[in-house]
């Protein structure tokens, strides 16, 4: 099992020695409200040798819920052919979020773990730190890679469904941590999808994902640091816990935080609020809000 994070210096050394067992993948994804084409941003500048992972394309397209996990076969085919990943590859993922230093990278870290690949790490500090420390960059499309041979082994324990969350909250047998920002959680700001209300599941705890990041260095907090965040929100990681958010992206930051704290198997509600709000009864939700006054 790889360390959850690698440093810029570690990745520089690995690429400098031509370590063919390391593959770097850019999974940049726009934050809610951002009108950025991340595939085009990748073409302008990316870590030299990296390939681009289109999160909005490699997903289950047979559901109305956004960004749901693809099948093991679809995932394996994509990472083998586009990214040159095999089961012995050390995958390093990053994103280019400038506000926090990390946003979507943990989603791909989690996806690899769901499909049985524990040899995956996130670049601490992301693309911003890579550039600030003079890491080599390139432009253009994803480079051609030697096709890998990745066999996915689905790990169901990392993925929670609506019924798991709904019944767990009703029986108070699980804790649900919601990684969205406070205003969306509290029904004070709109969801990215205007057809869905903001608000939250009755019984859920709000832990905005960025609380797990250092505001100055934009790197991930230490094990003690993330434990303090969970404790300050009255979350006991010794109890069954499920991570959620808007559509399953930043929930994976909280899953990473639990991993850093010594609990590597914390599951994620794949459909998150997007699925819950369209599937639950009204009594299971609170602070629902559709209408917001223009500023």
Q: Which residues contact 191 (CB under 8 A, 6 or more apart)?
A: 32, 184, 197, 198, 246, 273
Residue 233 a catalytic site member? no
Across residues 249-278, what is the average pLDDT? 96
The pLDDT tens digits of the residues spanning 67-92 come to 999 999 999 999 999 999 999 999 99
Report strand pairing: 159-160 vs 90-94. Answer: unpaired
- 52 three-class SS: strand
Q: Rounded to two decimals, what is the model's pTM? A: 0.96
pLDDT of residue 105: 98
Across residues 27-32, what is the average pLDDT? 95
The pLDDT tens digits of the residues spanning 137-180 come to 999 999 999 999 999 999 999 999 999 999 999 999 999 999 99
Q: How many degrees, rounded to 5, is the angle at CA 256 between CA 260 and CA 146?
A: 110
pLDDT of 292 above 70: no
56-60, 151-155, 262-266: range with lowest mean pLDDT: 262-266
Q: Which residues contact 163 (CB under 8 A, 6 or more apart)?
A: none
| DSSP code string of 18-32 | T-TTEEEEE---PPT
| DSSP code string of 262-291 | T-TT--EESSHHHHHHHHS-GGGEEEEE--
The pLDDT tens digits of the residues spanning 90-128 come to 999 999 999 999 999 999 999 999 999 999 999 999 999
Across residues 232-237, what is the average pLDDT? 96
Confidence of residue 294 (pLDDT cuts 50, 70, 90): very low
Catalytic residue among 106, 177, 233, 245: 245
pLDDT of residue 127: 98
């Amino acid at each position: 099992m790889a360390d959850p994070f690698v440093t810029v210096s570690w990745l520089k050394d690995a690429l400098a020695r031509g370590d063919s067992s390391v593959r770097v993948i850019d999974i940049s994804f726009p934050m809610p409200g951002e009108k950025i084409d991340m595939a085009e941003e990748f073409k302008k500048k990316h870590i030299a040798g990296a390939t681009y992972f289109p999160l909005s394309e490699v997903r289950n397209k047979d559901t109305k819920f956004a960004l749901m996990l693809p099948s093991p076969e679809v995932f394996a085919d994509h990472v083998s052919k586009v990214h040159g990943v095999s089961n012995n590859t050390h995958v390093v993922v990053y994103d280019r979020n400038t506000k926090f230093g990390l946003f979507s990278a943990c989603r791909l870290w989690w996806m690899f773990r769901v499909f049985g690949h524990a040899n995956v790490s996130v670049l601490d500090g992301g693309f911003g730190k890579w550039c600030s420390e003079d890491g080599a960059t390139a432009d253009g499309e994803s480079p051609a890679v030697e096709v890998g041979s990745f066999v996915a082994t689905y790990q169901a324990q990392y993925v929670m469904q609506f019924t798991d969350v709904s019944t767990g909250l009703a029986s108070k047998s699980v804790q649900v941590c919601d990684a969205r920002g406070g205003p969306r959680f509290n029904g004070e700001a709109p969801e990215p999808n205007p057809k869905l209300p903001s608000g939250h599941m009755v019984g859920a705890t709000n832990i905005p994902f960025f609380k797990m990041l250092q505001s100055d260095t934009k790197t991930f907090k230490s094990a003690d640091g993330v434990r303090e965040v969970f404790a300050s929100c009255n979350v006991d990681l010794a109890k069954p816990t499920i991570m959620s958010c808007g559509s399953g992206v930043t929930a994976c930051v909280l899953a990473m935080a639990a991993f850093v704290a010594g609990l590597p198997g914390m599951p994620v509600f794949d459909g998150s609020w997007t699925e819950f709000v369209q599937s639950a009864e009204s009594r299971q939700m609170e602070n629902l809000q559709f209408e917001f006054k223009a500023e």
